[in-house]
Amino acid sequence: VAAAAGARALDAPYRKRVQTGEDSDSRTVERLAGPRPDAARVIAAPAYEFPLPASPHTAAAAAGAVIDPEVLHVALGDRVREAAPAPLVVELAGGMHVPLTASFTQADWLARERPRVVLIARSGLGTLNHTLLTLEALRARRLTPSALILVGEPHAENAATLAAHVDHLFELPTLAPLDQGAIDAWLAEHPLADA
């Protein structure tokens, strides 16, 4: 998504709000989507980082911390203002119902902040139930995804079933090698930036 925004000649800042585990998603996005010579993409540090690779609330507890949704709210507003007029690409930590605290999920955060949503799901077996439940949860919060990206080996039946539930569906096959060139080549043939 960050690379697609960059393909439209936008400075597309990226932010992972909560990072759990030692593998930094921010560094991976920076490697795969930028920086580019023609766009100074900004990779903002997460508001929270915890070493345990677990759900945010569990990783925070293991580190003797608690995630404060108000901190995430304020940080989002700051990043949006810094990014303007470009869009800010924000990555969640796991699925919609993953808890940030014992009583506040990422679905609650989405309902509060009301961002434009791009849903990413795997393409193969099991995706119909998970993806349709996620779409239902989004719509219950009056959120409609701008696009659904199915990742993995293309699965025609799953794609056809899910296409009936979204305005824009894209299939992103496993890219080998997974690098900026492969992503750019895929984006050149798929108008993700227009969704």
- Which token pair is 86? 């470009």
Q: Which is catalytic among the residues 7, 14, 15, 16?
A: 16
Could you give the C-alpha distances from 38 to 1, 7, 9, 81, 120, in angstroms and in order? 17, 10, 8, 22, 27
- Which token pair is 61? 């507890």
For this structure, is 28 an active site residue? no
The DSSP code sequence of 64-84 is T----HHHHHHHHHHHHHHHT
Strands of the chain, DSSP E = 14-16, 18-20, 43-44, 48-50, 89-91, 118-122, 147-151, 169-172
- Which token pair is 153? 């080996």
Positions marked catalytic: 16
